[in-house]
Amino acid sequence: MALQESGEMYLETILILSEKLSGVRSIDVCEQMGYSKPSVSRAVGILKSGGYISVDRDGYITLTDEGRYVAEKTYERHRVLTAFFESIGVGKDRASEDACKIEHDISDETFEALKRFIKESKT
């Protein structure tokens, strides 16, 4: 099942929250993303049925291996793109906003080329 941009955003948010909190629940995702409980509940159901997350009987959300892969890939893109934009003079908030828009659409080929360019320009 191919994920839409919103699914990637949810997985990325769950990853970030799991690094800060001992356990992630839907309410944490609501608060972090600013979405309503019904919206998050629907997304959690879709991600669970797609095999990207599991939810235990107490409502704690855990990324599956596939979910973690997608979340880490998306989050890496966000961090690299944000840092790159900041390095060329874009303000921090704008750099993060623009990275968020691009991270879901940039091809693997272009992203890998950008990482190589950044690495080579540092040497």
Same structural domain, 61 and 95: no
- Number of independent structural domains in the chain: 2
Co-location of 35 and 77 in the same domain = no
Q: What is the pLDDT of residue 2?
A: 59
Query: What CATH number does the domain containing 50 carry?
Result: 1.10.10.10
How far is 107 from 84, CA to CA, in rounded Å? 16
Q: Are 91 and 105 part of one and the same domain?
A: yes
Q: Which two tokens stand for residue 8?
A: 């990637």
Q: What is the pLDDT of residues 8-47, one digit of tens each?
A: 999 999 999 999 999 999 999 999 999 999 999 999 999 9
Residues 56 and 9 in one domain: yes
Alpha-carbon distance 76 to 70, whole Å? 10
Find the CATH number of the domain harbouring 87.
1.10.60.10
Q: Please tell me the distance from the alpha carbon of residue 117 to that of residue 53, in angstroms, as a whole number.
A: 34
Predicted confidence band of residue 4 (pLDDT cuts 50, 70, 90): confident
My answer on whether 103 and 86 are in the same domain is yes
1 pLDDT exceeds 60? no
Residues spanned by the domain of 43: 5-67
**What mean pLDDT is predicted for residues 89-113?**
94
14, 61: one domain: yes
Tokens read off for 95: 């750099």
* Average pLDDT, integer, range 49-75: 96
Please tell me the least confidently modeled range out of 2-6, 19-23, 68-72. Answer: 2-6
